[in-house]
Amino acid sequence: MTRILFICLGNICRSPMAEFVMKDMVKRAGTADQFEIASAATSREEVGNPVYPPARQKLAEHGISCKGKTARQLCAEDYSYYDLLIGMEKVNLRSMQRICGGDPEGKMHLLLDGTASPHDVADPWYTGDFDAAWHDIEIGCRSLLEKLTKKRI
Ligand code: 4NP
């Protein structure tokens, strides 16, 4: 069992998109029972709120439902429970380390680390560009799943 927690600032756009894209990928691969996948926020800003409608719409366009997901904040206990804590952008990593008290076991990574084009997943909350976010998230999740399948992470 590999436990993955995706993390962004608000947990209403990028990290829930990554959570449900990854859940869809492992389901299609027939390996859903080998993973526990969730998402969380570094801020308290949106706690309890559902996925932001344009993000929900982008998932729905690809046949993916995120029904029932509400934002929750990352807590220090998540560090021992999850095997991988995957941030969307560098500023997330700093907040993740602050909340969890560092990263002594090297569990924290950025979604696009290790892809052909490592960069921050731009926040569609500010850019309005949910297509770009979708593109980055799909590439990042595919790369992560490939690495996990080959046990290189
Ligand atoms: P996310 O986007 O981090 O991708 O979920 C944001 C959502 C809400 C806010 C910022 C970013 N906010 O400031 O409320």
Query: What residue spans define the domains of the chain?
Result: 2-152
Distance between CA atoms of residues 24 and 30, nearest Å = 10
Q: What is the mean pLDDT of residues 101-118?
A: 96
pLDDT value of residue 152? 61
The CATH fold of domain 2-152 = Rossmann fold (3.40.50)
Look at residue 81 in the predicted model and tell me its pLDDT.
Answer: 98
The pTM assigned to this predicted structure is: 0.97
pLDDT, residue 75, reads: 98
Q: Are the CB atoms for 14 and 123 separated by under 8 Å?
A: yes
pLDDT of residue 113: 95
Confirm whether 13 is a catalytic residue: no
Which amino acid is it at 68?
Answer: G
CB distance 78 to ligand 1 below 6 Å: no
Asked whether the predicted pLDDT for residue 151 surpasses 80, the reply is: no
CA separation (Å) from 53 to 18, 56, 67, 114, 139?
A: 15, 5, 11, 30, 22
Cβ–ligand 1 distance for 9 under 6 Å, the answer: yes
Contact 16, 47 (CB under 8 A): no
Residue 153 is predicted with a pLDDT of 60
Q: How far is the CA of 24 from the centre of ligand 1 (A)?
A: 23
Residue 8 is a catalytic residue = yes
Is 152 a catalytic site residue?
no
Percent of the chain residues past pLDDT 70, beyond the cut: 99
Segment 28-75, tens digit of pLDDT: 999 999 999 999 999 999 999 999 999 999 999 999 999 999 999 999
CA 109 to chain centre: 10
